[in-house]
Amino acid sequence: MASSVSSVVVLDRGNNTTCTINLLGATVVSWRVNNQEQLFVSKLAVFDGQKSIRGGIPLVFPHFGPWAYGPQHGFAKICRWEVEKQPEPYENGDIEAIFSVVDTPFTKQMWNYSFKLVLKVVLREKELQVGLNVINTSPEPFQFTMLFHTYLKVPDVRKCSISGLHGCMFVDKTKENSIYQESRELVTIDNWIDNIYQNTLQEHIISNVVSGRKMKMVKYNLPDTVVWNPWDVKASTMSDFGDDEYPNMICVEAGAVMTPITLNPSNTYEGTIILQVM
């Protein structure tokens, strides 16, 4: 990748189990469990800070979706973050690192509030925990939406299924934001999908990820889940995504996006995901 060595931080738990965070957006760009990569990053991803890294786990804040005041999905993904705590092992061998970013003139042009974001990453034997704290350092309340835009690597997306969506209302962005109710116990994908599911179960199981295994995603304070794959037609319009890459990724994105969160001064909102290779 094009970023310099100093702009990535690696958590190493031994046994070829590692996690790499690029300080551009504090984006988790790699998670290897016993040397097997679990996250998808496009071969055409760009790391110049003009847009988010196409893959890994970009952070969406303070706005999910197209935004009148700034880039789609907000600015957190294109800010340069600081390392607040270098990777450090717990007694049990798990590794923790902490990253942060605060408002700047660049963020204030788009969103005129003071804030601090703190991202805590914990690497366990077969788990990755990523938690984002939003802290309101403004003298007034603000509203925001947030999401972990997780790109999972899969051998063939047509063979994957996602649990935890049955009965949920969803906005189908491929059908001019029509609203439906999900009738399937397990959602499968055989075309362009861009669904925003509301009030989903706390846990999703995604089948047939790397090596035919299952991946569990558990989410905290994140009521909604977006499922996205651009398929071939949309892929061809994206300059940072190969035309042939869509079968090898699935985005299952935990967030708080349907109803904006209101945060009072000095308060903190914490949203967390835990990914577990089963």
What residues numbered 102-161 form the site for ligand BG6, per CB under 6 A? Answer: 149
Give the one residue of 13, 32, 63, 73 binding ligand BG6; rule: CB under 6 A.
Answer: 73
Residue 182 annotated in active site? no
Q: 207-232 b/e with 16+ CB inside 10 Å = b?
A: bbbbeeeebbbbbeebbbbbbbbbbe
Residue 149 annotated in active site? yes
Give the one residue of 103, 182, 194, 224 binding ligand BG6; rule: CB under 6 A.
Answer: 194
CA 33 – CA 16 distance, rounded (Å) = 7
* CB closer to ligand BG6 out of 25 and 87: 25
**Nearest distance from C-beta of residue 218 to ligand BG6, angstroms:** 20
Based on the shown chain and the rule CB under 6 A, indicate whether residue 72 belongs to the binding site for ligand BG6.
yes
CA 178 – CA 160 distance, rounded (Å) = 24
Give the one residue of 98, 152, 253, 275 binding ligand BG6; rule: CB under 6 A.
Answer: 253
Query: Within 13 Å of residue 202, how many CA atoms lie on the same side as its CB?
Result: 6
**Nearest distance from C-beta of residue 211 to ligand BG6, angstroms:** 26
Count Cβ atoms below 10 Å from residue 59 Cβ, excluding itself. Answer: 28
Count Cβ atoms below 10 Å from residue 255 Cβ, excluding itself. Answer: 24
Give the one residue of 26, 39, 160, 226 binding ligand BG6; rule: CB under 6 A.
Answer: 226
Count Cβ atoms below 10 Å from residue 252 Cβ, excluding itself. Answer: 26
**Nearest distance from C-beta of residue 71 to ligand BG6, angstroms:** 7
Catalytic annotation, pick one of 149, 182, 204, 245: 149
Residue 35, C-beta contacts closer than 8 angstroms, at least 6 positions apart? 16
Site residues for ligand BG6 per CB under 6 A: 52, 72-73, 149, 173, 194, 226, 228, 253
| Catalytically active residues, by annotation | 149, 253
